[in-house]
Structure 1
Amino acid sequence: MRKLIFAISALALATSASFADPQEEREALMKANGRAMGALSAYVKGEKPFDAADVLAQLNKISEDAQKMDAAMLWPAGSATGNSESSPKIWEDPAGFQAAIDKFKTDAAAAAAAPPADVDALKASMGAVGSNCGTCHEAFRIKKG
């Protein structure tokens, strides 16, 4: 009986995962990354005193979310609908897009693994991580409004 309940639960979970909206998932990841980068920017701009624990938490959030990014799962063909900002270049150059994601993953993980001890070091970390955002957005994003 337990095996049957487990099997039904696993099937229900797998089915619900297959109905997940990749556009919503990727937008949620992007918004979370934007919030984390915004929090880090406040330290760089001097709007908040440097807080090493919060900086590490934000860098960990960015790194964790970066690791969730998978072009095939979050940008499947046909998923640019409605208000999507995804450029057709994503599907025209899937290898280039995946390479951009992979670089972001690597740089975000490196930043979290070596947390900055002060604002100057944070600037360097943000430069490395943030350049990935800018590069990818320039090549693979449609600017709305």
Structure 2
Amino acid sequence: MRKFVLAVAAIALATTAAFADVITDRQAVMKENARQVGTLVKMVKGESAFDAAAVLAALTALNDNVQKIDVAASFPAGSDQGDTTASPKIWEDAAGFQAEVDKFKAVTASAVAAPAQDLDALKAQVGTIGQTCGTCHEAFRVKKG
């Protein structure tokens, strides 16, 4: 009986650790997305000069990262527990969440296909990207504080 209890405890610990890795991985993806968008926002705000090559680099990095998002792998059942701001709505409305991720993939792919060549075009692209992020965050992320 003691061996059984230890085995169950070991499995539970391993499962918790696995979910911690999934959470850490998806948080890293989101932080990298924010970093790339931040590069673009600095140009929009006039904090850095418009640079078409830097725009393309940031959009490409963002798109590459977004295209790798695999909802099933990044948000498995049970990974709503722990240090995460992922809303339970992700698991309650998996199809809706997948649709938002798919929208984000389409928006970033479109941006890379036709990157902004001037500040006004960049403002429009950043607005579309930001709106897509915001819509998903409103529905599928728990606000901190």
TM bin, normalised by shorter chain, reads 0.7 to 0.9
8 Å contact from structure 2 (residues 20, 82) kept in 1: no
Matches within 5 A, 1:12-31: 21-31=21-31
8 Å contact from structure 2 (residues 40, 58) kept in 1: yes
Find the counterpart in structure 2 of residue 136 from structure 1.
136
Cα distance between partner residues in 1 of 2:141 and 2:51: 32
Cα distance between partner residues in 1 of 2:129 and 2:85: 21
Q: TM-score, normalised by structure 1?
A: 0.84
Structure 2 residues not aligned, in runs of 5+:
1-17
Cα distance between partner residues in 2 of 1:94 and 1:49: 40
Matches within 5 A, 1:63-78: 63-78=63-78
Matches within 5 A, 1:90-129: 90-129=90-129
Find the counterpart in structure 2 of residue 34 from structure 1.
34
Find the counterpart in structure 1 of residue 13 from structure 2.
none
- Report the Cα offset of residue 20 of structure 1: 8.4
The CA RMSD measured in Å over matched residues stands at 1.4
8 Å contact from structure 2 (residues 19, 79) kept in 1: no
Q: TM-score, normalised by structure 2?
A: 0.84
8 Å contact from structure 2 (residues 111, 125) kept in 1: yes
Structure 1 residues not aligned, in runs of 5+:
1-17
- Report the Cα offset of residue 46 of structure 1: 0.6
